[in-house]
Chains A and B, each alone.
Chain A
Amino acid sequence: MSASTASTIVSYTGKKLGSLRSERRWALWTAYASLIVATIIFLAPPFYMLVTSLKSSSEISNLSGNPWIVRAPTLENYMELIANPLFRGFFVNSVIITLCVVAISMVISVLAAFSLARMKFWGSQALATGVFLTYLVPDTLLFIPLYQIVGSLGLLNSIWGLILIYPTLTVPFCTWIMIGYFASIPKELDEAALIDGAGWMQMLTKIFIPVALPGIIAATIFAFTVSWAAFVYPTAFVTTPEHMPLTIGVVSQLIRGDTFAWGQIMAGALMAALPPVVVYAFLMDYYIAGLTAGATKG
């Protein structure tokens, strides 16, 4: 009698444990299966772009085989593009624009964030809210009046017009996350610096910027990716190919209706996408910190 009760208990707990373990294992398999499927789907387009970019026109136009593999890989598309002065021009334009915009954005937003997070002045609270609201204004809301404004300054079809306007895309968010990073620096740190004899500018350059370096990097990455990927403004403000940055250049100039330039288009798109991807690959943690900072900080 007692032995049988004992054995039922044992088998009961055994079963329970087993089911818990198998439940766990099943959950893990679901997780891996979902992730694998998602990764395949997420990476398929860039992969297919890569495959296409390695094909010759004749292979692309050949409908008989599996389009997802490349039979005779060639770098000819890349070579042609690199030799193409127009494409190189796009690249140079993008680099100049992005460097200027990143520099301008960081200077404006670090100064402003320091002043808003630490010094305060009449209306600074309202300004901080205003900064956030500006971040929520999409580029497509204001590109028409901006078109007029840029036009009246004589900056249409010029990279300087873009350098002037892009900071509206980058500065609000950079300021916002820098406010968050600066605000998380303990107040005693500036007081110690004040007592040590630092002025406001020294406090910013010697204490705040080094301490908030991860935030600075995250904001820089953000400014870089946004201005590299900007599309609406260059599409609206630049119609002359020699002044185009990469995004609109690749989209509008490499497409020629009649021929099979697909290999070249894909090669161009991939090369244009390379800088942000490389930055992402090397600075992933900062990239993600910047991405999530908007909602989790400040």
Chain B
Amino acid sequence: MAQVHLRKVVKEYEGGVQAVKGIDLDIADHEFVVLVGPSGCGKSTTLRMIAGLEEISGGEIDIGGTVVNDVPPRDRDIAMVFQNYALYPHMTVYDNMAFGLTLRKFDKGEIKRRVENAAKILDIGMLLDRKPKALSGGQRQRVAMGRAIVRDPKVFLFDEPLSNLDAKLRVQMRTEIKKVHQTVRTTTVYVTHDQVEAMTLADRVVVMNHGKIEQVGPPQELYHHPKTRFVAGFIGSPSMNFIPARLEEVGSGLVVRMTDRAVLPVPAARTARYAPHVGRELLFGIRPEHLTEPHPNEHRPSIAHFEAAPEVVEPMGMETLLHFWVEGHEICARFDPAVEVAPGKLAAMAVDMDQMHLIDPKTDLVL
């Protein structure tokens, strides 16, 4: 087990495409780090550089105290789980798991012990004699993980391991992966574009965009304290509403003014933080879950009330999503399904201004 450090790592593909533009990342021993980001942001490239499958164009990668830039994959002591599992189709499950050990000349007894141990952890003991073709998607996924576990490597690398599974199985395997990590405690780097996976699995989440790291932090921190507009919009589903607004001073407090009819007071606690920006055109950000029906027993001063007529109402079962437009900007609110709302009819809403964000549109940083 080991720490992993990335220092100013750059990947430039032939033809000049910079897929990764100099990232720094320190991963602690036993840590489970998830890389998320939109498609094409360089997650896989980063992971593959750690694995040694892509050459590093610049910077340094250090695994367990050695710089591995020039070390071929087999000597990096890492194991990887691929999206399509990459099981050897001509080998049985047992041989698939044993292959890496056989090539490393482990003795037969040790191989058997390790494979059986991994099979027990993953509950695939009865599949050991089958070929991959005779396995279901979830079983293949387990075998792929088993192949990584038996190696007992310094680092586990996962590249979207769950995206070939159906929704139900994905949730199940997610739990499974978490369980395995809690058992074997191997340092793990996990790539996904599914933020739910990221939030549920990670000790720390790394949000990437356009080949750069936007923010690194524990899931709750990313949710509550995004540093950039990208992270604010990327984390959370449905994603945060952004409305252009002007920050104004009214009496001793501040307000955000979107239109003349939509003016919301800024909580007193934030006055000092926002004071330097009074008079500027900013972006007001609020998550749908903080834009709800009014609760009669809720009397915090930070709750602001207003009315709007939703144009689209989407009942989701556990919640109802309301969409309405302010100044041409779509806004989504999240209501309790018990509240009756109808499209086109005014509904009373409550905003939790303690959860608001203000974003500087020039730098895209959250203030």
Which residues of A are in contact with B by a Cβ distance under 8 Å? 186, 188-189, 191-198, 202, 206-207, 210-211, 213
Contacts and interface: CB of A to CB of B under 8 A. Distances in A.
Contact of B51 (A195, A210, A213): A195
B84 to A, nearest CB: 6
Contacts of B104: 197
A196 B89 contact: no
Interface stretch (B5-13, B71-79, B257-265, B279-287): B71-79
B25 interface: no
26 contacts: A188-B82, A188-B83, A189-B86, A191-B51, A191-B73, A191-B80, A191-B82, A191-B86, A192-B86, A192-B87, A193-B88, A194-B53, A194-B73, A195-B53, A195-B73, A195-B78, A196-B74, A196-B147, A196-B151, A197-B74, A197-B100, A198-B74, A202-B103, A211-B88, A211-B89, A211-B90
Contacts of A195: 51-53, 73-74, 78-80, 100
Given A197-B103, A198-B103, A186 B53 contact: no
A194 B72 CA distance: 8
A130 to B, nearest CB: 23
A197 B100 CA distance: 6
Interface in B173-217: none
A194 B74 contact: yes
B104 to A, nearest CB: 5
B324 interface: no
Contacts, number: 56
A19 B318 CA distance: 57
Contacts of A192: 80, 82, 86-88, 147
B54 to A, nearest CB: 10
B99 interface: yes
Contacts of A211: 88-90
B87 to A, nearest CB: 8
Interface string B40-83: 00000000000111000000000000000000111000111011
A186 B84 contact: yes
B73 A207 contact: no
B74 A191 contact: no
Interface in B84-143: 84, 86-90, 99-100, 103-104
B167 to A, nearest CB: 23
Contacts of A206: 99
B129 to A, nearest CB: 17
A196 B103 contact: yes
Nearest to B80: A195
Contacts of B87: 192
A188 B86 contact: yes
For this complex, into which size category does the number of interface residues on chain B fall?
20 to 34
Contacts of B83: 188
A193 B88 CA distance: 9
Nearest to A210: B90
B99 A196 contact: yes
B71 to A, nearest CB: 12
A213 B90 contact: yes
A121 to B, nearest CB: 14
Given A188-B86, A195-B52, A196-B151, 20 more contacts: A186-B84, A188-B84, A191-B73, A191-B82, A192-B82, A192-B87, A192-B147, A193-B88, A194-B53, A194-B73, A194-B74, A195-B78, A195-B79, A195-B100, A196-B147, A197-B104, A202-B103, A210-B90, A211-B89, A211-B90
A207 B96 CA distance: 11
A189 B88 contact: yes
Nearest to A185: B89
A198 B73 CA distance: 10
Closest 9 CB pairs of A and B: A196-B100, A188-B86, A197-B74, A192-B86, A210-B90, A197-B103, A188-B82, A195-B73, A194-B73
Most A CB atoms within 10 A — which of B84, B99, B147?
B99
A197 B99 CA distance: 9
Contacts of A196: 74, 99-100, 103, 147, 151
A192 to B, nearest CB: 4
Nearest to A198: B103
Contacts of B79: 195
A193 B103 CA distance: 10
Contacts of A198: 74, 103
A162 to B, nearest CB: 35
Contact of A191 (B53, B147, B151): B53
B86 A186 contact: yes
B74 to A, nearest CB: 4
A174 B82 CA distance: 31
Contacts of A210: 90
Contacts of A202: 103
Most A CB atoms within 10 A — which of B72, B84, B103?
B103
Contacts of B147: 192, 196
Contacts of B90: 210-211, 213
Contacts of B84: 186, 188
Contacts of A194: 52-53, 72-74
A199 B99 CA distance: 13
A189 B87 CA distance: 7
Nearest to B144: A192
Contacts of A188: 82-84, 86
Contacts of B74: 194-198
Interface in B136-158: 147, 151
Contacts of B89: 211
A273 B341 CA distance: 84
A25 B101 CA distance: 61
B19 to A, nearest CB: 17
